[in-house]
Amino acid sequence: MRALLLAALWVHLASCVLLTGAFSMLLLAGPPRTSVARRWDGMVVAWSRLLVVGALGSGIVWLLVRTAVFENRPHAALEAGAAWHAVLDTWPGFVWLARHGLLIVLGAFLAIRADVTEKRNWIAARGEALVLAALALALVSGSSHAAAISPGVVSAVASDITHLLGTGLWIGALVPLALLLRAASRADGADSRPYAVRAARRFSRAALITMLLLMGSGVMNAIVQVESIAGLAGTTHGRLLLAKLAVLVPILVLAALNRARILPALSHSSDTVRRPVMRRLAAFVWLEAGLALVVLALAAAMTLTTPARHGDPVWPLPFRFSLDALPDVPATRWRALLGSQLALVGLVALVASFLVRRRRSPVRTAALALVAIGAGVGLPPLVVDAYPTTYRRPLVTYHAGSIAAGMTTYQERCAICHGITGAGNGTTSRPGTDLRAPPASRRRAGELFWLLTHGIPGRGMPDFGSHLGEAQRWDVINFIRVLGAADDSRRIGPEVEPDRAWLVAPDFTISVGPLAPGALRDYRGQRMVLLVLYTLPGSRARMTELARSYNVLSIIGVEVIAVPTQASPEAIRELGSSPPVLFPVVTDGNADIVATYRMFAPGAHAELLIDRQGYIRAIWREDLAGMPRAAAVQSQVEKLNEEKSPPPFPDDHVH
């Protein structure tokens, strides 16, 4: 079923691309004046009629197979009701309908065998066919991966349309150009050779611009849909893109060869020279077109795979490049800097070699050598170990529930070597690694997951893959991340440091009695949160003060969330009724929140100010500043309200 879907999509995409290219090539060549050129023009139009039939037929097959895939019933492909539902009740179906409507109009238009000998009629006929074909091709992006990007759908679709139209104008025009060159290179094509040469030159100029547009839009598409090197190398979608680029390289080499060597030779006055050159150019263009069809097949396959940004990358190499290792060894920093500068000079020289004609070859060779030397010098210090799961997305979010569960597992299984605080001071004779400091703290979560799953046999680290479930292992990793963060959090005190948000507040569930629970992340982008961990009776005076100042705090954009250190369904009642406590008081799940946040702020009473983006910005610990006064909290909130450029929202998962 999937193979049939791919085949149908490929035929459909190739037909639409060839249709667009055919009419753009006809317009580039201009109205035909000679008999051979007229025959070529007629042949391209005749083939275009067949292409429209092919596009419609493959489009219908594609729709039917897609219906079967969506409904998860092979028989649905043969049910008119199911196909009708897919066309009329879904967005891709609506796009399909619009595109095939355009193709039918194009087919009907091409079926009219009108007289186009007059120039304006010829331009109108071919121009109209190009517009209809290009619209049908461009609308493909309406139901592509780009249309599902959010936010930024407009720029993603615009970039995708540019890429599709560029493909049509360049790749689609190769076949008619090859046909023209072949026809003109024959013995009876003497009168059409100037026409063919002019067409080839115009195409060459247009192709250069189109190629630049294709590269730009391709990079944009890759940034949006692949997002990272890990996605490129570690997912099916990314690898298909790499394969597409690999096939594109010989096409570009052929195109450069045609432009630089063969096209100038077409100007030769002698036909004995010009005809073989034209035949060779035709052969090369056919070869380009053949490779381009492979590119289209890979592009079709890409549309049927999950975009890399949503995939879980499996890193294929035993190493990766990272800047993280540089701060530890000053010598490597200099080496990396030197290498990067050499490579940069090489790249500048390489670009210059394309712009300046004098001594192009030696400059280019020297530039490539500099880039290679720069890479050889600068890259080795950046190499760090990597594993297949290095870029894996954690299964569980950075949540107090997960962290508390991870804490329990850690204390049972890991603390014996790594110590309760993760400092590597366990009770075994062979101390474990300090998990709070580099290099452990700089490892990606996916790397910790691999090491936790498979162990480090040479260093006595056992494998937990067979003892702990996947979610349990991610819980431990979330806890290890809090160990490091808690150590760093000592730098945060009761004074907000403006524009310095770095400590992510772990999410937690806010359960107030039997009401539907909320979450800390519900406040993101809305309000700041003053998280109060309190213990009665010691915190009574402060809770009374908070209840009194709640209105003011609420007006300046702060929600107070109170968490008693001892869980109790009576927690609200225990705070008393005068003054009334109107802020949320967590009555369930306290243990997870307290266990997690006490790592940042130990003690019977602590308060943490969390900004609108979800970062901890101020901490009042009992052991240092004591409980804050209402005015103290308000002054810190004002500092946050004055921040001009809030940081981006933190990810829900650790990295």
Partner 1 sequence: MPVWKVVMILNLALAVGLGLGYAAWGRRADALDREIDAARAQVERLERERQACAAGARGGLQQWEGRGVVRAVYPQLLVITHEEIRGLLPPRTTGFRAAAPTLRDPVRVGDAIRFSLRGTVADDATLVAIAPW
Q: Are 313 and 391 in contact, with CB atoms under 8 Å apart?
A: yes
The continuous run of DSSP H or E covering 320 comes out as strand 319-321
The reply to whether 115 sits near partner 1 by the rule CB under 8 A is: yes
Nearest CB to partner 1, comparing residues 12 and 126: 126
The reply to whether 89 sits near partner 1 by the rule CB under 8 A is: no
- Angle ∠(530,533,537) on CA atoms, nearest 5: 125
Q: How far is the CB of 580 from partner 1 (least distance, A)?
A: 3
**Binding string, residues 579-618; x marks residues near partner 1 by CB under 8 A:** -xxx-x----------------------------------
The reply to whether 514 sits near partner 1 by the rule CB under 8 A is: yes
Nearest CB to partner 1, comparing residues 127 and 426: 127
Which of the stretches 17-25, 123-131, 328-336, 378-386 binds partner 1 when contact is defined by CB under 8 A?
A: 123-131
Nearest CB to partner 1, comparing residues 460 and 569: 569
Nearest CB to partner 1, comparing residues 311 and 584: 584
Residue 117: Cβ within 10 Å count: 10
In this structure, what are the phi and psi dihedrals at residue 615, rounded to the nearest 5 degrees?
-110, 145
What span, in angstroms and rounded, lies between the C-alpha atoms of 549 and 523? Answer: 20
What span, in angstroms and rounded, lies between the C-alpha atoms of 299 and 214? Answer: 13
3-state secondary structure of 556: coil
Q: How far is the CB of 626 from partner 1 (least distance, A)?
A: 28
The continuous run of DSSP H or E covering 533 comes out as strand 528-534
Structure tokens at 135: 């619209």
The reply to whether 97 sits near partner 1 by the rule CB under 8 A is: no
**Binding string, residues 322-341; x marks residues near partner 1 by CB under 8 A:** --------------------
Nearest CB to partner 1, comparing residues 89 and 570: 570
| Binder among 3, 80, 81, 120 for partner 1 (CB under 8 A) | 120
**Binding string, residues 516-555; x marks residues near partner 1 by CB under 8 A:** x---------------------------------------
Q: How far is the CB of 116 from partner 1 (least distance, A)?
A: 6
The reply to whether 124 sits near partner 1 by the rule CB under 8 A is: yes
Closest CA to 125 of 21, 26, 268: 26
The reply to whether 125 sits near partner 1 by the rule CB under 8 A is: yes
Closest CA to 637 of 507, 524, 506, 529: 529
Nearest CB to partner 1, comparing residues 471 and 515: 515
**Distance, CA of 454 to chain centre:** 29
The reply to whether 171 sits near partner 1 by the rule CB under 8 A is: no
Q: How far is the CB of 132 from partner 1 (least distance, A)?
A: 9
Nearest CB to partner 1, comparing residues 93 and 238: 93
The reply to whether 557 sits near partner 1 by the rule CB under 8 A is: no
The reply to whether 571 sits near partner 1 by the rule CB under 8 A is: yes
| Binder among 30, 87, 92, 128 for partner 1 (CB under 8 A) | 128
Nearest CB to partner 1, comparing residues 111 and 187: 111
What span, in angstroms and rounded, lies between the C-alpha atoms of 168 and 207? Answer: 11
| Positive/negative CA dihedral, 412, 418, 420, 426 | positive
Within 30-73, residue ranges assigned H as helices are 35-71
In this structure, what are the phi and psi dihedrals at residue 576, rounded to the nearest 5 degrees?
90, 170
| Binder among 2, 35, 74, 118 for partner 1 (CB under 8 A) | 118
3-state secondary structure of 282: helix
The continuous run of DSSP H or E covering 562 comes out as strand 558-564
What span, in angstroms and rounded, lies between the C-alpha atoms of 183 and 189? Answer: 6
Size of the site for partner 1 (CB under 8 A): 31
Q: How far is the CB of 523 from partner 1 (least distance, A)?
A: 14
**Distance, CA of 583 to chain centre:** 40
The reply to whether 109 sits near partner 1 by the rule CB under 8 A is: yes
What is the residue whose two structure tokens read 């519900």? 522
Give 304's contacts (C-beta < 8 A, 6+ positions apart). Answer: 2, 5, 6, 9
The reply to whether 357 sits near partner 1 by the rule CB under 8 A is: no
Q: How far is the CB of 447 from partner 1 (least distance, A)?
A: 41
The reply to whether 577 sits near partner 1 by the rule CB under 8 A is: yes
Which of the stretches 105-113, 229-237, 330-338, 369-377 binds partner 1 when contact is defined by CB under 8 A?
A: 105-113
The reply to whether 116 sits near partner 1 by the rule CB under 8 A is: yes
What is the residue whose two structure tokens read 């800097």? 337
The reply to whether 515 sits near partner 1 by the rule CB under 8 A is: yes
What span, in angstroms and rounded, lies between the C-alpha atoms of 203 and 192? Answer: 16
3-state secondary structure of 132: helix
Chain residues that interact with partner 1, rule: CB under 8 A: 105, 109, 112, 114-116, 118, 120-125, 127-128, 131, 512-516, 570-573, 576-577, 580-582, 584
